[in-house]
Amino acid sequence: MTHTAQVAVNDATIHFDKLYTYLIPPELADSVWPGSMVLVPFGRGDHPRMAVVLAVGEEETPDPRCKSLLDAAPEDARLTPDLLELVQFLKERTFCTWFEAVKAVIPYGAQYQPGRKNGRPCVQSRLTRPTERRYTLVGDLPEKPKPGPRQLAAVQALREGPLTQKALELLGVSKATLDTLCQKGIVKAEEQFKSLDLFADIPFDPRPLTLSPEQQQVFDTLLPDLRDGQPHAALLHGVTGSGKTMVFLRLIEETLAQGRRALVLVPEIGLTPQMIRRLKSTFGSRLAVQHSALNNTERLLQWRMIQQGNADIVVGTRSAVFAPLQNIGLIILDEEQEHTYQSESAPRYSAHEVAKKRAAMEHSLLVFASATPRIETAHAAAAGRLKKVTLTHRYGGRPLPRVDFIDMRAELTSGNPREVSTRLAGELAENLKRGEQSILLLNRRGYRTVALCEDCGQSLQCPNCSVPLVYHKARRALLCHHCGHMLAPPPRACPQCGGKLLYTGFGTQKVEEELQTLLPGARILRMDQDSTMQKNAHEKMLAEFGRQDYDILLGTQMVAKGLDFEKVTLVGVLGIDSMLFGQGFRSYESVFSLVTQVVGRGGRSALPGRALIQTAVPQHPVLQLAAGQDYNAFYREEIAFRKFGLYPPFCAFCVLGFVGVKEAAVLTAASRFAALLAENAAAHPDMPLRLLGPVPMGIAMLNNKYRYKITLKCRNDVAFRALLRQTLDAYGQEKLPQKASVIIDFNSDGEL
C-alpha cells in the first residue's frame, strides 16, 4: 500500500483548479493529514508550490507518474476540520479557488511559503513568531570572587521570579552581566514566544447589567434559543440609541455562563475600539481581536490565542468570521446592513452566509442587529425564517432627533455659493456657543472632486481607467482613486478641445476649509480615509472627540455609525443627493440607512438632538422616510420595488465579470460565456434564470484592462451552481483567441 494525498495548489484560476494526487514519502507519513499545508513539485519544471491537502488515501498501484510531496508545514498550520469545512463552503458558494479560500481563513502570518534549506526545497513560515529571552535563577552567587554590584542586583531581582531581558534592562541590568551569570550557571536563559496584551490599558470594571423592560423582553425572547443547543437565527431590530449593545452584553454573559464562546462582528475598524472597551471592562481579558488594522504579528498572536483556546470572546471585522474559535454559542453581526460584510475580492463571500454556516455547524444563536436591517434580512424575518425581536424606544425614553430639510436650490438662488448652507452655519454657531458638539456627514473625501471642461462638458479622465481624476489640494495634483495615476500640476485647459477647465464638486477637505472661514473659533476634526491612514488613528480621534477636544466632527460614512457621544446635539448631512441617484439596486437602501444612522448619532443622552439634511430634492420619498426614521414604511415601499423589478430577495443577483487587455477579445469571451450558459440552461427549462448582457461595466476600463459584465437573476441553489460550474468548465475548454479572466460575484448590487 502506498499513501497518497489529494491536494489543491496555490495560484490556480477558477476554471483550472483541479485536485492533484501526490505520494506521501515515509518521512512525512505522520505530518500529512486533510487540512495540512504541503510543498509539492508542480508543472513541467517541478517548481515547488504550496498546496493544501484535501484528502489522504491508500492506493495499491499508484500512477507511476505520481510525484512525491517535498515537505509539510507543522501541525499548527493545519486547517482544523471546522476550517476545512469553511474552505469547502467558500469554494462551493463563491466559486473561488481552493487556495483563495485557504488564504481567507488563515491570516497571512500563519501561512507558509516555499523556501530552501541545505539546498533542498522546504516550507518556510511567512512570519517568524517574535520571541523574547527570559531569565530564571538556578543557582547561588559564589562568595569568591566577590560578585559585583550589577550581578548582585540581577540576582536580587530574579529572586522574585523569572524576568524578561527587557524587564531586566529597565532595572539597569545589562545583557553582558546576564551573559556572565549564565556562563557561571547561576542563571538560565530561555527563548519564549512573546505575548502581547493589546488592551492592557482598559480596566476590568464589571458592573451589573441591568436591562430596561423592553431590553429585558428581547433578551427573554432570545434566551431559550441560546440555551437549547440548537442552531437559531434572529433579527434584533432596534432604533438608534435603544441599547442593542446592552442586549449583546447580557447574551454574551449568558453564553459564557454556559461555558460557551461568543463571536462579535462589527462592520468596520472604527467601531472595534468602542466594542472592545465595553467587552473588556465587562468580561476581562480573555478577549481577542481580528481585523486588518493589526499588523501581521499582532494578528497572528491574537489568532494563536484563539486557536489555543485562550479567548472566550472574539471581536472583529468581516474576516473574523473565520476565527478558529471553538464551541461558539453566540454569533452577533452588529450593523448587519453594512456592505463591508461582503468581500469585494476573491473569495467574494458575505459574512452573513458564513456566519449562518458556522451557526449551523456549532449550534449557535446567530443575531443580526441593526436600526435599518437589510431588506433581505427584514424579509427573511417577515417570512418567519428569522426570529424577530424589536426595540422601539430609545433607552431612557429619549426622543429621536427632530429632522429638517434645507433646500439647496433655494440656497443657490439666494446667492450662497458655499456648500454649507446659511441655516446649518447658524445652527453650528449656536451649538458652539452652548458648548455642545456637532457631527457632519459628507460621504466624499478630498478637496474638489473633478475637472470639467466649460466648452466640451467632458471631465478629465484617468488614461488607464474610465473614471474622472480627482483634485487633491495637499499634493497639488489630480489623482486616480483606482490606479494612482497622477497629473501634476493640475492643467488649466482641456486636453481634448483646449477649453477652460472648471474645478467643481466638493469633498471633506473643502468643507473643512469653509467651516474654518465661517466659524473661526471652532475646533474641527476631519475623519476620512486620508486623515485616518496612521495606525490607531480612528481610536485616537474618536477618543479626542469624546473628551470634547473638538466641537465639530466632519467625515465620511465612518462618522455615521455606532458612535455614542453624549454631547452631540446637532447632526448635518451634506451631499447626499449623488448617492440617492447612484447606480445599483441598493442605492435607496444605502441612503435610507446612512441618513437614519447619522441622524441617530444626536441626542443620545440628556440633551435633545436635531438634524439638518441639505438636499436639492427635499420631497424625495426616501429622504422623507429617513427623516421620520420610519423603517417599516421604507421597507414596504422598497420590498414592492424589489418585487416589481425582480431584485433580491426575490431572486439571487449574480454578476459575472470579464476582464482583459483587448476590448474585442473581452467582449467575445463574455458573449461566448453567455451563449454556453444559455445552451446549458436550455436543458433545465424549469430553472428560473434571466441573463442580461454582456455590457460594459460602469467603470469600463480599470488599470488599462477592459471590463464587461453579464448579470444573472437566478436562484442560487445546488442545481444552479452546478450549471454555472459546468459552464465554467466548458468555457475553460473553449478555443478563444484570447481568454478573459472571469469574476463571479453573488453579493454585488450591479457593479464589480
Is residue 604 a contact point for ligand ADP (CB under 6 A)? yes
**Residue 586, strand partner residues:** none
Is residue 482 a contact point for Zn ion (CB under 5 A)? yes
Is residue 464 a contact point for Zn ion (CB under 5 A)? yes
> DSSP string covering 47-75, please?
EEEEEEEEEEEEESS--TTPPBP-EE--G
Take residue 23 and report the three cell numbers written for it.
505520494
* Among 35, 48, 107, 241, interactor with ligand ADP by CB under 6 A: 241
* Among 111, 245, 614, 668, interactor with ligand ADP by CB under 6 A: 245
Among 557, 235, 578, residue whose Cα is nearest residue 375:
235
Is residue 707 a contact point for Zn ion (CB under 5 A)? no
C-beta of 101 vs 371, nearer to ligand ADP: 371
Residues ≥6 apart with Cβ < 8 Å to 713:
646, 647, 651, 652, 653, 654, 688, 689, 690, 692
Residues ≥6 apart with Cβ < 8 Å to 91:
97, 98, 101, 347
Could you say which of Zn ion, ligand ADP, none residue 485 binds, taking C-beta under 5 to 8 angstroms by partner kind? Zn ion
- Binding part of the chain for ligand ADP, among 241-249, 438-446, 626-634, 742-750 by CB under 6 A, reads 241-249
C-beta of 219 vs 706, nearer to ligand ADP: 219
Is residue 470 a contact point for Zn ion (CB under 5 A)? no
Is residue 211 a contact point for ligand ADP (CB under 6 A)? yes
Least distance in angstroms from the C-beta of 293 to ligand ADP = 22
Where do we find the cell 458638539?
A: 437
Take residue 692 and report the three cell numbers written for it.
442580461
Is residue 236 a contact point for ligand ADP (CB under 6 A)? no
Could you say which of Zn ion, ligand ADP, none residue 462 binds, taking C-beta under 5 to 8 angstroms by partner kind? Zn ion
C-beta of 221 vs 466, nearer to Zn ion: 466
> DSSP string covering 592-646, please?
HHHHHHHHTTSS-SSS--EEEEEES-TT-HHHHHHHTT-HHHHHHHHHHHHHHHT
C-beta of 210 vs 392, nearer to ligand ADP: 210
Least distance in angstroms from the C-beta of 482 to Zn ion = 5
Is residue 480 a contact point for Zn ion (CB under 5 A)? yes
> DSSP string covering 386-430, please?
SEEEEE-S-GGGPPPPEEEEEEHHHHHHTT--SSS-HHHHHHHHH
How wide is the angle at C-alpha 191 spanned by C-alphas 187 and 196, nearest 5°? Answer: 120
- Binding part of the chain for ligand ADP, among 89-97, 207-215, 520-528, 669-677 by CB under 6 A, reads 207-215
Cα gap 287→262, rounded to integer Å? 10
C-beta of 404 vs 564, nearer to ligand ADP: 564
What are the distances in angstroms from CA 573 to CA 419, 430, 633? Answer: 11, 17, 22
Is residue 15 a contact point for Zn ion (CB under 5 A)? no
Is residue 392 a contact point for ligand ADP (CB under 6 A)? no
Least distance in angstroms from the C-beta of 311 to Zn ion = 42
Is residue 567 a contact point for ligand ADP (CB under 6 A)? no
Is residue 462 a contact point for Zn ion (CB under 5 A)? yes
Is residue 238 a contact point for ligand ADP (CB under 6 A)? yes
Take residue 510 and report the three cell numbers written for it.
473643502
- Each residue 537-566 as x (binds ligand ADP by CB under 6 A) or -, in order, gives ---------------------------x--
Could you say which of Zn ion, ligand ADP, none residue 244 binds, taking C-beta under 5 to 8 angstroms by partner kind? ligand ADP
Return the residue nearest ligand ADP (CB atom): 243
Take residue 575 and report the three cell numbers written for it.
451631499
E strand intervals along 12-46: 20-23, 37-42
Cα gap 86→347, rounded to integer Å? 12
Cα gap 557→532, rounded to integer Å? 13
Could you say which of ligand ADP, Zn ion, none residue 317 binds, taking C-beta under 5 to 8 angstroms by partner kind? none
- Each residue 292-331 as x (binds Zn ion by CB under 5 A) or -, in order, gives ----------------------------------------
Cα gap 194→188, rounded to integer Å? 18
Give me the helices (H) in 474-600, please. Answer: 508-518, 537-546, 577-580, 587-599
Question: Is residue 600 a contact partner of residue 400, using CB atoms and an 8 Å limit?
Answer: yes
- Each residue 393-422 as x (binds ligand ADP by CB under 6 A) or -, in order, gives --x---------------------------
Is residue 302 a contact point for ligand ADP (CB under 6 A)? no
- Binding part of the chain for ligand ADP, among 186-194, 206-214, 499-507, 617-625 by CB under 6 A, reads 206-214
Cα gap 348→747, rounded to integer Å? 7
Residues at the site binding ligand ADP, with contacts judged by CB under 6 A: 210-212, 215, 238, 240-246, 395, 564, 604
